[in-house]
């Protein structure tokens, strides 16, 4: 990714300039806490079983092992009436997003939150849905950008949003860390129903929700007729390198022709995918056991506390506004040049300026918000997925900063 | 897959009709021999390391761990000058075939061997390259079918093949089990160079080659300028359920514009994929160690002997012609109705007829050749990836058969 390259280039330059300084990386949203042993043991056992005649397994179903599909349906979607046949096991949310894009094809119109996780736009570009990029506005001609603003909880103004075939919606949102409320999601579902849109609901951070915000789009009445949910073990269980996720395509979701979307997705999965690793799937099953869930809870709590520490540290910067942290381990920060109060564009720092200033003065790597869409400019995203020691050190450095 | 469903339906009916008979499944090409312990131990160790602070790893590079990429470059492509940066680790060949299709997009023309592994046509259909299906000829309007015939070693007649942007070529071929010779592959490379085509060379079965046939397209002079190679640990190491493969995109491969294909593939991999499971990658590295390769050799030998047993058994059927087996654990069989000699179409059994007859009379499940393209009709594919006991029992049943 271009952005990653630009960030590493600046990192390298910084290390050359300050060879003795310890850099703290709060950029990429990568997990750092070990996976609970009850889960890794299950994977090790599955791996060893593959060297025995009784335990050896070859191809599994492309849609995933039934046991894991059932466990997801009965634990994650306990009271939501999701059938195990509607759950497709994947090797991660990002991979399923592009498999969904293959399902939709190049002839659809697509809306994304602005800011949001760049994989939606990037995969739209690859499929040929996006249209040309305007270098000045950083927008693709054929994409609909649903701008989020802090005063609206980063929920888009749907009254001003044109109808599209597909709506990518990420909650809790990456990068803002903000979860949509129940009434906001109800508006979104109603909007999609009215327009005949399909919502691709990315809830990769759902397990971090600490308030009453819905953890699944299927908590919203009517959602099964308009939404696909993409979920992941990556952040939930530290499986970023193990690779495991799932996607729910409800039987109720139909094209305008009446034909069920699940049949087409099944075709994509059986043609373009051959199932997630059986070892990772054994790990997923252990995550959903009572003991696994218990072990993961404290791990998640740790990241959440990290986010609180960072949120507080950024809020201490003169004039800074910091969002998120409560329902996802991301903090989303804006620091106007002129101190507290309004931020007319003359006094705004661009995201890169803020990135550079924080890097230069506190040796902390973040991500400039522009990487998440034009609406992200002026912000940085800070990841709370680091080790506690680094988070505390970052907090101390930030608190010592006096932003002009 | 339609075909799989049709086969399981017939299987279920057969079991209802003959509840006490032991069915032998030589259909799907799935491995059955356990993975050597030296390899599963490496995976178990990697899994357990993820529960320690020192051993935990999150996201790896989307292109795969450098150590594994280097090991593939230096062992599989020892004298062929493949750089580790040209090797992309995948979760299997089938997945990378569809990522390559995303790279090519819908606007390309595509040629496939007939018969061949159905994923090429199926993914072309999904991408919109294939055009409508003629139900009578079983051909898609926009695909070029390169017919293989036994008298030509199943190598297509290139003089009669129209130029296309993309050529999928599988050697050793699934389903025929036949590997292309060096001079045939040289013809193919020359043909692609002349026409500006890109060859997608699928060598998932290369490790089974027992004669002088090339194991990599890059053994052919000039291939790096026209070919991408898709390879897999699935059959090589029994990783069908573990999920690991790789694709080589040479730096020398350029579009007509001069722009390198590897840059675009890198973009697809970083946007639509997030790397293979780190546990599977640890297993891949163990496969390529000296001890790992040694342990895999005897396992492979076992499948090859199975293929010989089946080849001989089928050859004993009156008038049958059986191919393959020597360079891939598939046997490709035709049994004319009229006994030995020529097979005018009146005397040909269709693949389904042959499938049904073998199932009915010897309780062995195979795959009708039509599943691999119109050129496969009249044949069945028989997999030698079963346990030795089943292969011997199948052989005994076949030898007792008198085909009319």
Contacting residues of B for A56, CB less than 8 Å apart: 32-35, 238
- Of residues A339 and B303, the one with the higher pLDDT is B303
Q: What backbone phi and psi angles, to 5 degrees, belong to B299?
A: -60, -45
**How many folded domains does chain B comprise?**
2
User: Model confidence over A47-78: pLDDT tens digits?
Assistant: 999 999 999 999 999 999 999 999 999 999 99
Same domain (yes/no): A153, A44: yes
Same domain (yes/no): A281, A191: yes
> Which one of B34, B59, B274 has the shortest CB-CB distance to A53?
B34
User: Model confidence over A232-277: pLDDT tens digits?
Assistant: 999 999 999 999 999 999 999 999 899 999 999 999 999 999 999 9
Same domain (yes/no): B153, B78: yes
Is B206 a residue whose pLDDT tops 70?
yes
How far are the Cα atoms of A25, A369, A386, B298, B349 from residue A397, in angstroms, in the given order? 13, 21, 15, 59, 79
The count of other CB atoms within 10 Å of the CB of residue A255 is 12
Please report the number of interchain residue pairs, chain A to chain B, with beta-carbon separation below 8 angstroms: 195
**Where a domain ends, among B248, B269, B291?**
B291
Owner of token pair 């799935």: B30
Classified as helix, coil or strand, B133 is strand
Contacting residues of B for A41, CB less than 8 Å apart: 47-48, 51
The count of other CB atoms within 10 Å of the CB of residue B141 is 10
Does residue B404 form part of some domain? no
Mean pLDDT of B38-44: 98
- Of residues A338 and B387, the one with the higher pLDDT is B387
Q: Provide CB contacts within 8 A for B182, sequence distance 6+.
A: B212, B213, B214, B219, B220
Predicted confidence at residue B319, as pLDDT, reads: 83
Residue of A40, A95, A118 to mutate, interface with B, max B Cβ within 10 Å: A40
Predicted confidence at residue A340, as pLDDT, reads: 39
Residue A203 half-sphere exposure toward CB, CA atoms < 13 A: 25
- The mean predicted confidence, pLDDT, of chain A is 94
Task: Determine if the peptide bond prior to B175 is cis (ω within 30°).
Answer: yes
Owner of token pair 């918000």: A369
Predicted confidence at residue A335, as pLDDT, reads: 85
What is the C-alpha to C-alpha distance for residues B18 and B23, in angstroms, rounded to an integer?
9
What is the C-alpha to C-alpha distance for residues A312 and A315, in angstroms, rounded to an integer?
5
Q: How far is B71 from chain A (nearest CA, A)?
A: 20
Is A330 a residue whose pLDDT tops 80?
yes
Q: What backbone phi and psi angles, to 5 degrees, belong to B134?
A: -85, 110
Classified as helix, coil or strand, B250 is coil
Two structure tokens written together for B21: 């008979």
- Rounded to a whole number of angstroms, the CA Rg of chain A reads 21
Q: Provide CB contacts within 8 A for B262, sequence distance 6+.
A: B86, B249, B250, B251, B253
Does residue A354 form part of some domain? yes
* Smallest CA–CA distance from B125 into chain A, residue: A271
Q: What is the DSSP string of B186-231?
A: HHHHHHHHHHTPEEEEE-TTGGG--SSS-SSGGGSTTGGGTEEEEE
Does residue B393 form part of some domain? yes
Does residue A368 form part of some domain? yes
Q: Do B48 and A48 touch (CB under 8 A)?
A: no
Residue of A45, A48, A51, A60 to mutate, interface with B, max B Cβ within 10 Å: A51
Helix count and strand count (H, E) for chain A: 12, 15
**Where a domain ends, among A243, A269, A291?**
A291
**Where a domain ends, among A291, A308, A332?**
A291
Does residue B111 form part of some domain? yes
Same domain (yes/no): B69, B200: yes
Confidence of residue A346 (pLDDT cuts 50, 70, 90): low
Q: Do A28 and B98 touch (CB under 8 A)?
A: no
Query: Helix, strand, coil shares of chain B as percentages rounded to 5?
Result: 45, 15, 40
Predicted confidence at residue B55, as pLDDT, reads: 97
For the CA atoms of B86, B87, B93, B99, the dihedral, rounded to the nearest 10 degrees, stands at: -50
Same domain (yes/no): A285, A354: no
Provide the percentage of residues in chain A whose pLDDT is more than 90: 92
Output b/e per residue, B286-306; b: 16+ Cβ within 10 A: bbbeeebbebbeebbebbbeb
Same domain (yes/no): A92, A14: no
Contacting residues of B for A119, CB less than 8 Å apart: 271
User: Model confidence over B124-134: pLDDT tens digits?
Assistant: 999 999 999 99
Is A345 a residue whose pLDDT tops 90?
no
> Which one of B126, B243, B280 has the shortest CB-CB distance to A268?
B126
Q: How far is A124 from chain B (nearest CA, A)?
A: 10
Confidence of residue B404 (pLDDT cuts 50, 70, 90): low
What is the C-alpha to C-alpha distance for residues B314 and A57, in angstroms, rounded to an integer?
28
Contacting residues of A for B272, CB less than 8 Å apart: 94-95, 98, 123, 126
Same domain (yes/no): B175, B190: yes
Mean pLDDT of B180-197: 98
Same domain (yes/no): B128, B235: yes
Contacting residues of B for A45, CB less than 8 Å apart: 44
User: Model confidence over B59-95: pLDDT tens digits?
Assistant: 999 999 999 999 999 999 999 999 999 999 999 999 9
Does residue A35 form part of some domain? no
> Which one of A40, A55, A268 has the shortest CB-CB distance to B51?
A40
Classified as helix, coil or strand, A123 is helix
Predicted confidence at residue A349, as pLDDT, reads: 80
Contacting residues of A for B263, CB less than 8 Å apart: none
Predicted confidence at residue B339, as pLDDT, reads: 46
Predicted confidence at residue A403, as pLDDT, reads: 64
Q: Do B47 and A279 touch (CB under 8 A)?
A: yes
Q: Do A43 and B279 touch (CB under 8 A)?
A: yes
* Smallest CA–CA distance from B295 into chain A, residue: A51
Predicted confidence at residue B347, as pLDDT, reads: 62
Q: Do A243 and B91 touch (CB under 8 A)?
A: yes
Is B20 a residue whose pLDDT tops 80?
yes
How far are the Cα atoms of A203, B174, B209 from residue B204, in angstroms, in the given order? 36, 9, 11
Predicted confidence at residue A14, as pLDDT, reads: 97
DSSP E strands in B28-92: the ranges are 87-90
Classified as helix, coil or strand, B31 is coil
Predicted confidence at residue A287, as pLDDT, reads: 98
Contacting residues of B for A275, CB less than 8 Å apart: 241, 243
Residue A251: which CATH number?
Answer: 3.40.640.10
A250, A262 Cβ separation under 8 angstroms: yes
Q: Do B35 and A58 touch (CB under 8 A)?
A: no
Q: How far is A166 from chain B (nearest CA, A)?
A: 18
Q: How far is B364 from chain A (nearest CA, A)?
A: 20
Residue A394: which CATH number?
Answer: 3.90.1150.10
Contacting residues of B for A39, CB less than 8 Å apart: 51
Q: Do B40 and A53 touch (CB under 8 A)?
A: no
Same domain (yes/no): A51, A23: no
B273, A122 Cβ separation under 8 angstroms: no
Same domain (yes/no): B211, B172: yes
Mean pLDDT of A307-326: 93
> Which one of A34, A47, A92 has the shortest CB-CB distance to B56?
A34
Same domain (yes/no): A278, A366: no
DSSP E strands in A138-267: the ranges are 139-140, 143-147, 166-170, 198-202, 227-232, 245-248
Q: Which domain holds residue A383?
A: 2-30+296-400
Q: How far is B181 from chain A (nearest CA, A)?
A: 29
Does residue B263 form part of some domain? yes
User: Model confidence over A371-389: pLDDT tens digits?
Assistant: 999 999 999 999 999 999 9
Residue of B230, B271, B388 to mutate, interface with A, max A Cβ within 10 Å: B271
> Which one of B47, B276, B278 has the shortest CB-CB distance to A47?
B47
Same domain (yes/no): B53, B188: yes
Contacting residues of A for B91, CB less than 8 Å apart: 91, 243, 274, 276-277
B390, B371 Cβ separation under 8 angstroms: no
Predicted confidence at residue A317, as pLDDT, reads: 87
Task: Determine if the peptide bond prior to A307 is cis (ω within 30°).
Answer: no
> Which one of A32, A50, A278 has the shortest CB-CB distance to B58?
A32
Does residue B274 form part of some domain? yes
Q: What backbone phi and psi angles, to 5 degrees, belong to A227?
A: -125, 145
Mean pLDDT of A164-171: 98
Q: What is the DSSP string of A209-229?
A: --SSS-SSGGGSTTGGGTEEE
Query: What is the ipTM, given to two decimal places?
Result: 0.95
Query: Can you say whether the dihedral through the CA atoms of A217, A221, A227, A228 is positive or negative?
Result: positive
B58, B256 Cβ separation under 8 angstroms: no
Is B345 a residue whose pLDDT tops 70?
no
* Smallest CA–CA distance from B234 into chain A, residue: A58
Q: How far is A93 from chain B (nearest CA, A)?
A: 9
- Of residues B327 and B337, the one with the higher pLDDT is B327
Is A298 a residue whose pLDDT tops 60?
yes
> Which one of A34, A58, A283 has the shortest CB-CB distance to B241?
A58
> Which one of B56, B95, B270 has the shortest CB-CB distance to A32?
B56
B209, B172 Cβ separation under 8 angstroms: yes
Residues A212, A213, A219, CA angle at the centre, nearest 5°?
A: 105
What is the C-alpha to C-alpha distance for residues B370 and B116, in angstroms, rounded to an integer?
10
* Smallest CA–CA distance from B92 into chain A, residue: A274
What is the C-alpha to C-alpha distance for residues A70 and A80, in angstroms, rounded to an integer?
13
Is B338 a residue whose pLDDT tops 80?
no
Mean pLDDT of B328-348: 71
């Amino acid at each position: 990714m271009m952005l990653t390259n630009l960030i590493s280039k600046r990192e390298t330059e910084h290390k050359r300039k300050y060879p003795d300084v310890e850099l703290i990386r709060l950029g990429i949203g990568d997990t750092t806490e070990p996976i609970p042993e009850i889960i890794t043991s299950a994977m090790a056992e599955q791996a060893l079983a593959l060297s025995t005649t009784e335990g050896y397994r070859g191809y599994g179903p492309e849609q995933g092992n039934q046991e894991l599909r059932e466990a997801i349906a009965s634990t994650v979607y306990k009271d939501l009436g999701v059938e195990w046949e509607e759950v497709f096991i994947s090797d991660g949310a990002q991979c399923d997003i592009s498999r969904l894009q293959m399902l939709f094809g190049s002839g659809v119109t697509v809306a994304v939150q602005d800011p949001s996780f760049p994989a939606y736009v990037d995969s739209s570009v690859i499929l040929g849905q996006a249209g040309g990029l305007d270098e000045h506005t950083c927008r693709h001609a054929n994409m609909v950008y649903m701008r989020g603003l802090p005063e609206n909880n980063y929920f888009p103004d749907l009254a001003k949003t044109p109808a599209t075939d597909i709506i990518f919606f990420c909650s809790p949102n990456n990068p803002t860390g903000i979860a949509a409320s129940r009434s906001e999601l109800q508006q979104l579902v109603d909007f999609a129903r009215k327009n005949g849109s399909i919502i691709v609901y990315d809830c990769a951070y759902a397990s971090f929700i600490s308030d009453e915000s819905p953890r699944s789009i299927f908590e919203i009445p009517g959602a099964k007729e308009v939404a696909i949910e993409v979920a992941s073990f990556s952040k939930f269980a530290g499986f970023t390198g193990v690779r495991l996720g799932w996607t729910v395509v409800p039987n109720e979701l139909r094209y305008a022709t009446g034909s069920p979307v699940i049949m087409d997705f099944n075709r994509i999965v059986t043609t373009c995918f051959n199932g997630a690793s059986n070892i990772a799937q054994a790990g997923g099953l252990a995550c959903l056991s009572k003991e696994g869930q218990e072990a993961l809870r404290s791990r998640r709590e740790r990241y959440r506390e990290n986010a609180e520490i960072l949120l507080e540290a950024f809020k201490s910067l003169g004039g800074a506004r910091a969002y998120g942290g409560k329902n996802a381990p991301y903090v989303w920060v804006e620091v106007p040049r002129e101190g507290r109060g309004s931020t007319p564009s003359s006094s705004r720092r661009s995201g890169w300026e803020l990135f550079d200033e924080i890097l230069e003065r506190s040796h902390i790597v973040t991500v400039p918000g522009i990487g998440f869409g034009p609406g992200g400019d002026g912000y940085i995203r800070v990841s709370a997925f680091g080790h506690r020691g680094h988070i505390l050190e970052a907090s101390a450095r930030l608190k010592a900063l006096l932003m002009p």
